[in-house]
Amino acid sequence: MKDTNQNLIERPSIIAVMGHIDHGKSTLLDYIRKTNVTEREAGGITQHLSAYEVNHEGKDGEVHRITFLDTPGHEAFRAIRTRGARVADIGILVVSAEDGVKPQTIEALNSLREANMPFVVAINKIDKPGANIEKTKQNLAENDVYLEGYGGKVPWVAISAKTGDGVSELLDLLLLVAELEEFKANPLTAASGFVIESNLDTKKGIVATAIITDGTIKKGLFAVCGNSISPTRILENFLGKPINEATFSSPIRIIGWDSQPLVGEKFICFSDKKDAFAEIEKYSEIKEKTDVMEILPTDVVVIPVVLKADTSGSLEALLYEITKLANDRIKFKIILSNVGPVAENDVKAAGAHLGALVIGFHTKVEPTAASLALRIGIKVESFDIIYKLTEWLEETLKERTPSIEAEEVTGKAKILKFFSITKDKQILGGKVESGAISVNEAVKIMRRDVEIARGRIRELQMQKEKTSSVPEDKEFGAMIEAKIEIAPGDRIESFTIVNK
C-alpha cells in the first residue's frame, strides 16, 4: 500500500546515543531504563549495539514512547556507530565535562554530520569534582559545535547520568526536537526497517534485532534482509517477550532466519512468499555484479583467519580491527566468519590453510574443537575485550611480518686521485664527505649520481698510516677491489645490509 497523507501518522523518534568511550553513554541509558547494562559488559565497555524502548511523560502531561540505540564507544566499533546514526532520527552526543572532546567524539560527530541528523549535546559527569562546563563548551566550539547561548543553535543539557540531574530535561528536549522534525510513517503498510544486530541462539536459531522505521510487522509475513529470509512466526519485543505484532520505531527480535541476516542492511516484509524470494533474487544479482576480489602481490604474506563471535556486530568490529592492523607486507584473509561457538568444522577449515588462526570473541570453544586444534597444531584464541584482541594481533603481526634486507649508507667519499691498478685492485686517493668509510665495507661506485659498479674497500690509510676507518672531512688513501676502473670525480658510497 502506498503512503498517503491520510495513512501517515506521527511516529516515536529513534535516538542514537553516541560519544567517546567511558563518557557515560551506557550509564545514561541505565538511568533512563532503571537497569544496569554496564556491569554485564566485559571490562565495563558496551560492545554491542542494543535498542531499548522507554516511556517518558512530557511537559504536556502525555506519555511519549522513545526508542534509544546504545552505540559502543570503542574505536573498533566505528562502523556500528555509523550504522546507528543511519538508522536513528536524532542523536545525543554525550561529552564528559571532565575530559571534553576526544577521538571517538569526533568520529561520532562525523557520523551525525554525514547522516545530516539533528542532534543534541549532553554534557555529562557534572557531578565530578573536575567538571568544567564552560571549558567543555569551548572545546566543542573548537570542533565546530556551537551550542545555544554559546554562538550557535545546537541544543544542549548539562546532566549527571549517575545522579539523574538534568536527564528529565534531556528527554523533554528530545521530544521538542522530534516535534519540530515531524517524523511520520504509515501503519497500514508491511513493515520495513534495519537489522541492527544478529546472533545464533542455540535454542531458538538465528535471531535478528531490528528497528521498524515504517509499517507494521505481524505474524504470517516473510521478512527479507539481503539474501536471508525468515517467516514472522516468532516475534519478540526488546525485553524478549513474545508479541503478535509491532509498529514503527519499535525494536523487535525476528526469530527463525535461514541464514545470518546482514547487519546494517534494510529488511522488508512481504505477505507473499514468492515476492519475498523475488527480492532475494534481485539482491543476489546486484551483489554478484558488485563483488570484486582483491588480488594481492605475490610477495605479500597472507595469514588465513577464521572468525567466530557471539553477534554480527562483533564480527564487523573484528573485521575492522584486523583490516586496520594489516600492512603492505602482510595481509589477513578471512576464510570463514560467522556467529556461534568455535566448532570442530571451524578448526577443520583453518587446518586446510598453512598458518591459519582461529579467533573467537565473546564465544565458547567446543571441547571437540579444542581437542582437534591441539592435535593438528592450529592456534585458537578467545577474547572478551576488544583491546586485548588488538594487542594479541599486533604481537602476532610482529612475529609473522617478513624482514626485508635494506641497504643503509654509512659513508660517502669523493675520489680525488688515481694511482695504480693491479687486476681488480685499485689504489686511489679521496676525501670523506659524510659519515665514515671502513675496511671491508662494500661500496657503490657512483658516476654523475648513477651507480656504475660495486666494489669493496680492502685497505685504508690516513697520512700514510694504516687505519680501519676514516671519518668525515678526512683525506685518505685506499685499495678498492672493483671490476670497473674508478676515475677522479667518481664518488663511493659505503653501505651495510640491515633487516627491517
pLDDT in tens, 115-170: 888 999 999 999 999 999 999 999 999 988 999 988 899 999 999 999 999 999 99
Give the per-residue pLDDT at 5: 59
Kindly indicate the confidence band of residue 6, based on its pLDDT and cuts at 50, 70 and 90: low
> Has residue 47 got a pLDDT over 60?
no
Domain ranges of the chain: 9-183, 192-288, 301-400, 405-499
pLDDT tier at 39 (50, 70, 90 boundaries)?
Answer: very low
CA-CA distance, 198 to 209, in Å (whole number)?
6
Predicted confidence at residue 36, as pLDDT, reads 37
Does residue 46 register a pLDDT over 80? no
* Assigned fold of 192-288: Elongation Factor Tu (Ef-tu); domain 3 (2.40.30)
Q: What span, in angstroms and rounded, lies between the C-alpha atoms of 233 and 217?
A: 11
Per-residue confidence (pLDDT) for residue 2, from 0 to 100: 44
Res 252: pLDDT: 93
Q: Rounded mean pLDDT of 416-430?
A: 93
Q: Determine the 3-state secondary structure of 27 from DSSP.
A: helix
* pLDDT confidence bin for 482, thresholds 50/70/90: very high
Average pLDDT on 15-30 reads 86
Q: Across-strand partners of 267?
A: 193, 225
Where do the H-state alpha helices sit in 337-404?
344-351, 367-376, 386-400
Cα 17 from Cα 299, distance rounded (Å):
44
CB 327 within 8 A of CB 393: no
Region 329-347 average pLDDT = 86
Topology of domain 301-400, per CATH? Rossmann fold (3.40.50)
What is the Cβ-side half-sphere exposure of residue 207, based on CA atoms within 13 angstroms? 20
Amino acid at 177: V
Reported as a single tens digit per residue, the pLDDT across 450-462 is 999 999 999 999 9
Instruction: Supply the mean pLDDT for the chain.
Output: 86
Interhelix angle 167-181/25-33, nearest 10 degrees? 90
pLDDT band for position 261 (50/70/90)? Answer: confident
Shared fold status for 9-183 and 301-400: yes
Whether the pLDDT of residue 51 is over 90: the answer is: no
Nine-digit cell string for 463 = 697520512
The pLDDT value recorded for residue 35 is 45
Q: Tens of pLDDT along 285-314?
A: 766 555 444 454 556 778 889 999 988 888
Per CATH, the number for 405-499 is 2.40.30.10
Least confident of 8-12, 47-51, 189-193, 392-396: 47-51
Lowest mean pLDDT among 23-37, 184-198, 284-298: 284-298
Split at pLDDT 50, 70, 90, the class of 74 is low
C-alpha span between 101 and 142 (Å, rounded): 9
| The pTM of the whole model exceeds 0.85 | no
Confidence label for 43 from pLDDT (cuts 50, 70 and 90): low
CATH of domain 9-183: 3.40.50.300
| DSSP string computed for 158-176 | E--TTT-TTHHHHHHHHHH
Mean pLDDT of 32-56: 61
Using 50, 70 and 90 to split pLDDT, how confident is the model at 340? Answer: confident
> Looking at per-residue confidence, does 202 or 258 come out higher?
258
